């Protein structure tokens, strides 16, 4: 049995990355233990599958194709900064999606198909792009303050016209993502 670590995502437009990098640079000025996401890897995760049998990829791809055929390209607005689970216990630092009703609908319909294939239903889906993971509470108050400073920061808009089924290869330098299949909306 051959397995692949996979997830479904919306890639971030390259022209929005400099504004997100501006936020990351602000966090990097703080002496905190934060592991940052490489700009090339920034994405909005629709579903993390984990390790899946490559023999089942076709079924998964068919399910994705069925759902996306009902969607047309749509615009999203990337705005703000926050933390999971919250700013008092920071584990993940993220930038947000404003007016995310279409993405939530897309996710709900995809997740319903994935459950039929045996995947767990997502308990809580939140539209966000992870920019960093906090590894300790060192200088947490400064990190919290920076998150609050950027809570309403306008990053920009982009058109979502495709979603990608990706393979994630974990390396000591960080994950490497490759498209397994791209689905046009």
Residues 9 and 162: beta-carbon distance below 8 Å = no
Residues serving a catalytic function are 43, 128
φ, ψ dihedrals at 84, nearest 5°: -110, 145
107 Cα distance to chain centroid: 12
Using CA atoms, how far apart are residues 167 and 160, in angstroms rounded to an integer?
20
Nearest 5°: CA angle at 68, between 176 and 47? Answer: 40
Q: In what order do the strands lie in the sheet with 128-134?
A: 34-36, 128-134, 89-98, 74-86, 154-160
């Amino acid at each position: 049995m051959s397995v692949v670590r996979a997830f479904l995502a919306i890639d971030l437009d390259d022209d929005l990355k400099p504004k997100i990098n501006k936020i990351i640079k602000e966090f990097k000025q703080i002496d905190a233990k934060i592991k940052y996401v490489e700009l090339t890897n920034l994405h909005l995760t629709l579903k993390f599958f984990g390790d899946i049998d490559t023999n089942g990829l076709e079924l998964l791809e068919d399910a994705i194709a069925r759902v996306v055929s009902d969607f047309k390209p749509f615009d999203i607005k990337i705005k703000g900064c926050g933390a999971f689970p919250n700013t008092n216990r920071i584990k993940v630092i993220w930038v947000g999606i404003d007016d995310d009703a279409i993405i939530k609908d897309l996710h709900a319909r995809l997740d319903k198909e994935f459950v039929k294939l045996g995947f767990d239903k997502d308990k809580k889906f939140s539209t966000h792009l992870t920019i960093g993971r906090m590894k300790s509470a060192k200088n947490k108050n400064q990190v919290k303050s920076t998150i609050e400073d950027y809570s309403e920061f306008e990053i920009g808009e982009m058109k979502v016209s495709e979603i990608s089924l990706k393979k994630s290869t974990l390396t000591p330098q960080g994950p490497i993502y490759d498209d397994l299949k791209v689905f046009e909306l």
